[in-house]
Structure 1
Amino acid sequence: MLADLDVTPHALARRHRPVTFVDVVHEGSTFTELFALLDDWIVESREPWEVVRRKLRFLGVTRSRKTSPNTWRWHQHAGWTRRLPAASVRNVSLDALVWSYFGDHQTKLTRSFRPDRWLLTDDGPDRDERARQALAEAVALVAYGRGAPGRRALAAATSHEPALAEPWLRSVVRQLNGV
């Protein structure tokens, strides 16, 4: 599948921009499996690790938790993350109820992509009423996000985030506001 997407060690070593893997993360085991697969493939293909490692990004969508030095964070317990530049592994946290909806309850339009299912044939989405409602929800969310009111609402919600101190996020907010 990665080869079909041109995400091979050879392609990674030669691409200009990094590739970002995104997942709704509970404990990070899917990312651990994916990194192990990529690591073995890079070694086998003899591509330069120091070049490829700068082309990998992992973005975990996590449940918002209390900010504390004692808070458990998946990436701090995954040894492989230390083999990448510090900025290569990031998290975006969601309110616990929102995360639970996406991670535990939302009807999936594609099969779950756990490592034990990577090599299975994709049989497509279900065609029952729940799947149709989930598809309608996805279409409505995309339409809302493409419209000016949706972009302004996202910019307004983002304006309260501590990360707004980062230039990249201010740039996103300006684009959302059409500035």
Structure 2
Amino acid sequence: MLDDVEAPEAWYLGDLAECAGKVLARSGNGDLVFVGRSLDSMFDLLGGALDEGRALHRLPVSFRHGPVLHGDVPRVRELLTEAGVTPASLARRDRPVTFVDVVATGGSFTKLFGLLDDWITEERETWPAIRRKLRFVGVTIRRQTSPNVERWQQRAEWTRRLPASSVVNVSLDEDVWHYFGNWQTKLTWPFTLHRWREHLREAKRDERTREALAEAVQLVSLGRTKEVRRMIARGMDGEPALSEPWLRTLQSRLT
């Protein structure tokens, strides 16, 4: 599919690498699960940059179009299980699971948390053991900082059930945020509700998709270079978690 296809310029590379470094730093040493398609490029870049000891997963669901119906719940649970997330595994795992997605109002994270909460209750797993194993990192549009700015998690009641450090944000340049969230051509069809159930994985093969595939392959290759690995590591500079051995070790491996 890549014959005679030139990868588009990764004009956003510096912003993406810095953001990826901060996502890692604020992950709580968790295994990253990328929700939906918006941050496919971060998944690709980190897939090239990180060693095999750190798990990266995709959760191919979208919560943008209407409520989650009762009939969709089994399919969502299957997809979560494929990503290594079940009530039983959450209660017994050593490292947290950290969900990552672009965030505007937090609606997708709210629906995802609700699905997990219902599942945990149904399975009768111990919530106190699980609450410290769940983390959410929202990639938001960079705004002018102010103590009066209201963040999405302040309006979401469910976030109060988790430790304050478990729901955090990383800001990203507005143009880059919109490119990944709204404009970028993706390799897969949108994860609409019926596609959760049917689990359709067929690839698109039009010219724009071939260019998107070249872009993805290029990002994996860039992630393997010393220069980009160091860019990701520099994104961790100044992060409070650098006081913890796991992040210092990760930063050292990247450099």
- 1:27-84 CA distance string (max 9 Å, x none): 1111100000000111111111111111111111111111112223111211111101
- Which residue does the alignment assign to 2:133? 55
Aligned mate of 2:165, from 75, 83, 87: 87
Letter in 1 for 2:205: R
* Gap runs ≥5 in structure 2: 1-78
**CA spacing shift, 1:6–1:129, aligned 2, 3 Å:** same
**CA spacing shift, 1:35–1:171, aligned 2, 3 Å:** same
1:26 aligns with 2:94: no
**CA spacing shift, 1:87–1:112, aligned 2, 3 Å:** farther
Letter in 1 for 2:225: G
**CA contact under 8 A between 2:189 and 2:204: conserved in structure 1?**
no
**CA spacing shift, 1:111–1:86, aligned 2, 3 Å:** farther
1:97 aligns with 2:175: yes
Paired residues, what number?
175
Inter-partner Cα distance in structure 1 for 2:241 and 2:201: 44
**CA spacing shift, 1:3–1:138, aligned 2, 3 Å:** same
Match of 1:119, SS?
helix
Letter in 2 for 1:9: P
- Which residue does the alignment assign to 2:148? 70
Letter in 2 for 1:144: L
Match of 2:149, SS?
coil
1:167 aligns with 2:243: yes
Bigger mean CA offset, 163-172 vs 102-111: 163-172
Letter in 2 for 1:21: F
Q: TM-score, normalized by length of structure 2? A: 0.62
**CA spacing shift, 1:143–1:26, aligned 2, 3 Å:** same
- Which residue does the alignment assign to 1:132? 210
Inter-partner Cα distance in structure 1 for 2:190 and 2:147: 32
1:10 aligns with 2:88: yes
Match of 1:42, SS?
helix
Inter-partner Cα distance in structure 1 for 2:127 and 2:95: 16
Match of 1:61, SS?
strand
Inter-partner Cα distance in structure 1 for 2:129 and 2:214: 42
Inter-partner Cα distance in structure 2 for 1:4 and 1:141: 24
- Which residue does the alignment assign to 2:188? 110
Q: TM-score, normalized by length of structure 1? A: 0.86
Letter in 1 for 2:132: R
Deviation at 1:115, TM superposition (A): 6.5
Inter-partner Cα distance in structure 1 for 2:151 and 2:192: 20
**CA spacing shift, 1:109–1:166, aligned 2, 3 Å:** same
- 1:73-97 CA distance string (max 9 Å, x none): 1112111111011111121111111
Bigger RCO (CA 8 Å, 6+ sep): 2
